[in-house]
């Protein structure tokens, strides 16, 4: 495997680890942005240019900003650097960790067991944006329309949920 | 070499120079040498243009405000950027005690990196683009979206309420105007059929008689160009949308706590963002490197590109010196209630344009729809405001 | 290890990290961030299988990943709206203190 892959994988995993381990919320949000960036670069290394740029545009340009705004809007008045009880992890953190480790063990075992059966380097036919466009309005037009409907519903729903409630008279 | 085509040689002079330099290196690393020379070109030309623009802006604004701009340093004040650079480099770098050190340092770096990446896909002349990506325009907008996060980082890491307020306003403004920015360029993509910027320029490089085929000379193109210009002004936080860095309101907004070289980096990044937005607007609507009239093609393509970009810069400076600043709620209202519906309508009108085929009918129909919509939205917007007739009183 | 297996291992690791974050942190927003990490890991899986799979010209994997990105963004928006709304009511985002159904 090329050194670039190891570097990108290291960046992504480091970003993910920093997200779940850091105390300061805004630092966590910025660490997850690094993980998103690492993933976008991994997509680019897999010849999925469109998916990589869409990942940067949507996740770093919108979701990360959403998260940061939510963090800023839900701060307590005088926010200490660590949470009041001095803990950022819940009381049952060990159970969660064990479950996550078990999931990783199972997935890793599945991947390594079938490593011989997985296909090797294959030549990649050049995928142009025009093909993606044709696919979107050809074969995948139904998911496209449904996603449009979903995004409209989500926008209206998020605005209504987060709106200031009118004073009940 | 008497048969040498002089204008074509001057046009391609940078490409020929790059090839000549690359011949000194072994064949294996020649592409890398070409790319490195291109990067060196970008890093030297655009910041040089930035230095020139700062002095143009200060002198231009000065003249519009009936005063001289800087005129002490060098002939007519044109060495002012050198003085500014020396000042910025030698100023003490003050970091607040409670500021978040790492983020405070990284914010200008991330901003500058994201802005520089936007220059990679700009076709500066014929055959002169650093990377010809298939999804070039999408890459540019992805880099533009990355700048928002660094603005927030700058504002938050300073632990200063003014900075945070400025940063949140700036991010809200940038997100709101990002949709009209993308939608007005989707219009061009629809007609050109490609996301690759050199191909978009080539689609506009034809001439009927002496008049060019630029997209700005069509009704939908003009509307999209104006909306793109408004959105670009707002994305780069320029006046009249510069409330986040309003010098009289918020001290300096999200870069209040930055001094010395870091402030200079923010300044450079803002102007470079302006250049890349102007470059994209030129490429999408004004035909990129093609000349305005067909017989003017003797002048090199990069000359036309940079002239158009400098025209844009002049318009930015002109608008800054003329229009008053918009308040934050007026700004957001404008984005969501006028610019966005207008760009959506423009999308529909462009589709109509393609559907109606060649001929004069489509010009009339499309222009009529756009003008009617503009007037209607303007009337509706002004409906409930009562403005008294303005009386001007002059000092006698 | 084949390239595909390497990408799948990275995706599995990222998924497990996201799951650990979602299960162990107290703040509601960090749970949402963990969920986003899990969705991203699944996207990496999809793209890796598309690249090394039998019919990459059909674009199935890339389409799936793009729709997944869109849906994840919508879900993040609604989820964060809910967190803000709950914060207005309960004045805290600490999940350990939200252990009653009474409003």
Q: What is the pLDDT of residue B102?
A: 86
Q: What is the pLDDT of residue C19?
A: 95
* Greatest distance between any 2 Cα atoms in chain B: 76
Asked which of A84, A111, A138 is the last residue of a domain, the reply is A84
Average pLDDT of chain B to the nearest whole number: 86
DSSP B211: E
A169 domain residue, yes or no = yes
User: Do C19 and C3 contact (CB within 8 A), yes or no?
Assistant: no
Residue A33 touches chain C, beta carbons under 8 Å: no
Give the residues across from C21 on adjacent strands.
none
Answer yes or no: is the ipTM higher than 0.85: yes
A115 domain residue, yes or no = no
Write out the DSSP string of B38-95. Answer: HHHHHHHHHHHHHHHHHHHHHHHHHHHTTS----SSSGGGTTHHHHHHHHHHHS----
The H or E element containing residue B212 is: strand B211-212
Query: Does residue B248 surpass a pLDDT of 70?
Result: no
Tally of domains within chain A? 2
SS3 A31: helix
Cβ-based neighbour number of residue B69 at 10 Å: 18
Enter the tokens of residue B142: 């992805």
DSSP B151: H
Q: What is the pLDDT of residue B24?
A: 85
User: Do B43 and B116 contact (CB within 8 A), yes or no?
Assistant: yes
- CB contact (8 A) between residue B138 and residue A57: yes
- CB contact (8 A) between residue A159 and residue C81: yes
Enter the tokens of residue B90: 């030698």
A110 domain residue, yes or no = no
User: Do B322 and B243 contact (CB within 8 A), yes or no?
Assistant: no
> Residues in chain C with pLDDT < 70?
103
A71 domain residue, yes or no = yes
Q: What is the pLDDT of residue A84?
A: 52
CA distance B163 to B154: 8
Q: How far is CA A167 from CA A164, B364, C92, in A?
A: 9, 51, 21
CA distance B9 to B15: 10
Environment class of C100 (CB within 10 Å of its CB; exposed 0-12, middle 13-18, buried 19+): exposed
CA distance C97 to C103: 13
User: Do B265 and B112 contact (CB within 8 A), yes or no?
Assistant: yes
Environment class of B117 (CB within 10 Å of its CB; exposed 0-12, middle 13-18, buried 19+): middle
Residues A72, A133, single domain; the answer is no
Which of residues 69 through 98 in chain C touch A, CB cutoff 8 A?
69-78, 80-85, 87, 91-96
Residues A64, A4, single domain; the answer is yes
Residue C56 touches chain A, beta carbons under 8 Å: yes
Enter the tokens of residue B82: 């050198």
Q: What is the pLDDT of residue A169?
A: 43
Residue A73 touches chain C, beta carbons under 8 Å: yes
Question: Which of chain A's residues have a Cβ under 8 Å away from the Cβ of B135?
Answer: 49-50, 53, 129
User: Do B266 and B114 contact (CB within 8 A), yes or no?
Assistant: no
Query: Does residue B31 surpass a pLDDT of 90?
Result: no
Cβ-based neighbour number of residue A116 at 10 Å: 8
Mean pLDDT of B297-325: 89
- CB contact (8 A) between residue A5 and residue C3: yes
Nearest CB among B149, B194, B195 relative to A65 is that of B149
Asked which of A84, A103, A136 is the last residue of a domain, the reply is A84
Nearest CB among A56, A128, A129 relative to B142 is that of A56
Whether chain B lies against chain C with 3 or more Cβ pairs closer than 8 A is no
CA distance A143 to chain B (A): 21
- CB contact (8 A) between residue C10 and residue A42: yes
Mean pLDDT of B331-354: 90
Query: Does residue B250 surpass a pLDDT of 80?
Result: no
Which of A29-33, B2-6, B246-250, B258-262 is least confident? B246-250
Residues A74, A18, single domain; the answer is yes
CA distance B165 to B170: 9
CA angle centred on B81, ends B75 and B83, rounded to 5°: 85
Enter the tokens of residue B47: 């910041």
Query: Does residue B310 surpass a pLDDT of 60?
Result: yes
Q: Which chains touch A (3 or more CB pairs under 8 A)?
A: B, C
Give the domain CATH number at A6. Answer: 1.20.120.1200
Asked which of A84, A110, A138 is the last residue of a domain, the reply is A84
User: Do A118 and C52 contact (CB within 8 A), yes or no?
Assistant: yes
C55 domain residue, yes or no = yes
A113 domain residue, yes or no = no
Among candidate residues B133, B149, B220, B134, the one with its CA nearest the CA of residue B185: B220
Enter the tokens of residue A92: 């049952």
Residue B99 touches chain A, beta carbons under 8 Å: no
Residue A44 touches chain C, beta carbons under 8 Å: no
Give the residues across from C17 on adjacent strands.
none
**What is the mean pLDDT, run by run of 10 residues, along chain A of 169 residues?**
89 95 89 95 91 94 92 68 60 89 94 76 76 90 94 92 66
Question: C57 lies in which domain range?
Answer: 3-97
CA dihedral B292, B293, B299, B303 (to 10 degrees): 0
CA distance A55 to A41: 9
Nearest CB among B103, B141, B171 relative to A57 is that of B141
Give the residues across from B212 on adjacent strands.
B207
Confidence of residue B383 (pLDDT cuts 50, 70, 90): low
C81 domain residue, yes or no = yes
Residues A80, A139, single domain; the answer is no
Tally of domains within chain C? 1
C103 domain residue, yes or no = no
Q: Give me the helices (H) in chain A, please.
A: 3-21, 25-45, 49-55, 64-73, 93-113, 129-137, 141-162
The residue to which tokens 């309420």 are assigned: B161
Which pairs with CB-CB distance under 8 Å and at least 24 residues apart come from B78-86?
Answer: B80/B54, B80/B55, B81/B51, B81/B52, B81/B54, B81/B55, B82/B51, B84/B54, B84/B264, B85/B51, B85/B264
Q: How far is CA A93 from CA A19, A30, A160, B330, C32, in A?
A: 15, 23, 34, 48, 17
- CB contact (8 A) between residue A72 and residue B168: yes
C19 domain residue, yes or no = yes
Mean pLDDT of B193-215: 86
Whether the CA torsion B228, B277, B138, A13 is positive or negative: it is negative
The H or E element containing residue B208 is: strand B207-208
Give the domain CATH number at C80. Answer: 1.10.287.3510
Helices B13-22/B30-64 angle, 10° precision: 140
Residue A24 touches chain C, beta carbons under 8 Å: no
Q: Give me the helices (H) in C25-59, please.
A: 28-52
Question: Which of chain A's residues have a Cβ under 8 Å away from the Cβ of C21?
Answer: 16, 19-20
Enter the tokens of residue B210: 């002496």
A119 domain residue, yes or no = no
C26 domain residue, yes or no = yes
A112 domain residue, yes or no = no
Confidence of residue B23 (pLDDT cuts 50, 70, 90): confident
Give the residues across from A8 on adjacent strands.
none
Please give the span between the terminal C-alpha atoms of chain C, in angstroms, as a whole number: 53
Question: A161 lies in which domain range?
Answer: 127-169
User: Do C45 and C8 contact (CB within 8 A), yes or no?
Assistant: yes
Environment class of B382 (CB within 10 Å of its CB; exposed 0-12, middle 13-18, buried 19+): exposed
CA distance A59 to A37: 9
Q: Is A92 or B201 the better-scoring residue by pLDDT? A: B201
How much is the CA Rg of chain C, to the nearest whole Å? 17
C35 domain residue, yes or no = yes
pTM listed for this prediction:
0.90
Residue B235 touches chain A, beta carbons under 8 Å: no
Query: Does residue B195 surpass a pLDDT of 50?
Result: yes
Residue A113 touches chain C, beta carbons under 8 Å: no
- CB contact (8 A) between residue A30 and residue B103: yes
Environment class of B71 (CB within 10 Å of its CB; exposed 0-12, middle 13-18, buried 19+): middle
């Amino acid at each position: 495997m090329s050194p670039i892959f190891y570097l990108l994988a290291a960046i992504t995993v480091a970003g993910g680890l920093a997200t779940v381990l850091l105390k300061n919320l805004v630092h966590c949000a910025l660490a997850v942005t690094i993980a998103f960036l690492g993933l976008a670069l991994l997509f680019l290394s897999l010849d999925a240019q469109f998916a990589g740029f869409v990942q940067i545009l949507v996740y770093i340009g919108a979701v990360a900003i959403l998260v940061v705004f939510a963090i800023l809007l839900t701060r307590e008045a005088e926010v200490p650097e660590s949470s009041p009880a001095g803990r950022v992890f819940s009381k049952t953190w060990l159970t969660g960790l064990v479950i996550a480790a078990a999931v990783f063990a199972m997935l890793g075992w599945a991947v390594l067991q079938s490593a011989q059966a997985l296909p090797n380097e294959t030549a990649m036919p050049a995928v142009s944006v025009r093909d993606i466009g044709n696919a979107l309005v050809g074969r995948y037009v139904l998911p496209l329309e449904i996603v449009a409907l979903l995004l409209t519903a989500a926008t209206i729903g998020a605005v209504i949920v987060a709106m200031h409630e009118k004073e009940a008279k | 070499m008497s048969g040498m085509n002089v204008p074509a040689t001057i046009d391609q002079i940078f490409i020929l120079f790059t090839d000549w330099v690359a011949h000194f290196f072994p064949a294996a690393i020649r592409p890398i040498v070409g790319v490195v020379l291109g990067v060196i070109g970008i890093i030297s030309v655009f910041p040089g243009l930035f230095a020139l623009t700062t002095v143009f802006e200060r002198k231009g604004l000065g003249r519009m405000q009936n005063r001289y701009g800087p005129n002490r340093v060098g002939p007519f004040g044109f060495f002012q950027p050198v003085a500014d650079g020396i000042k910025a480099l030698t100023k003490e770098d003050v970091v607040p005690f409670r500021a978040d050190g790492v983020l405070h340092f990284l914010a200008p770096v991330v901003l500058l990196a994201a802005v520089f990446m936007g220059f990679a896909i700009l076709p500066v002349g014929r055959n002169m683009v650093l990377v010809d990506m298939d999804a070039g325009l999408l890459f540019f907008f992805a880099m533009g979206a990355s700048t928002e996060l660094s603005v927030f980082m700058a504002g938050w890491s300073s632990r200063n309420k003014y900075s945070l307020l400025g940063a949140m306003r700036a991010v809200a403004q940038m997100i709101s105007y990002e949709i009209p920015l993308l939608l007005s360029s989707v219009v061009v993509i629809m007609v050109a059929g490609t996301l690759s910027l050199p191909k978009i320029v080539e689609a506009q490089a034809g001439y009927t008689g002496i008049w060019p085929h630029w997209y700005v000379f069509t009704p939908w193109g003009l509307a999209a160009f104006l909306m793109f210009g408004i959105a670009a002004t707002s994305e780069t936080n320029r006046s009249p949308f510069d409330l986040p860095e309003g010098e009289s309101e918020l001290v300096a907004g999200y870069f209040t706590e930055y001094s010395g070289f870091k402030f200079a980096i923010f300044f450079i990044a803002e102007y470079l963002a302006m250049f890349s937005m102007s470059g994209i607007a030129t490429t999408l609507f004004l035909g990129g490197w093609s000349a305005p009239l067909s017989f003017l093609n003797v002048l090199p393509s990069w000359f036309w590109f940079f002239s158009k970009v400098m025209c844009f810069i002049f318009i930015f400076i002109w608008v800054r010196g003329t229009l008053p600043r918009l308040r934050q709620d007026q700004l957001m209202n404008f984005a969501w209630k006028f610019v966005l519906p207008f760009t959506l309508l423009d999308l529909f009108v462009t589709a109509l344009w393609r559907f109606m085929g060649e001929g004069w009918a489509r010009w009339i129909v499309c222009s009529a729809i756009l003008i009617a919509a503009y007037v209607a939205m303007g009337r509706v917007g002004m409906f409930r405001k009562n403005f008294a007739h303005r009386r001007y009183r002059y000092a006698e | 290890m084949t390239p595909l297996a390497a990408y799948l291992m990275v995706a599995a690791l990222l998924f497990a990290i996201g799951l650990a974050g979602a299960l162990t942190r107290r703040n509601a927003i960090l749970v949402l961030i963990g969920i986003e990490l899990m969705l991203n890991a699944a996207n990496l899986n999809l793209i890796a299988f598309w690249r090394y799979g039998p019919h990459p010209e059909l674009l199935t994997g890339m389409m799936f990943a793009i729709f997944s990105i869109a849906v994840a963004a919508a879900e993040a928006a609604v989820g964060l709206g809910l967190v803000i709304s709950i914060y207005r009511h309960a004045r805290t985002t600490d999940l350990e203190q939200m252990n009653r159904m009474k409003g």
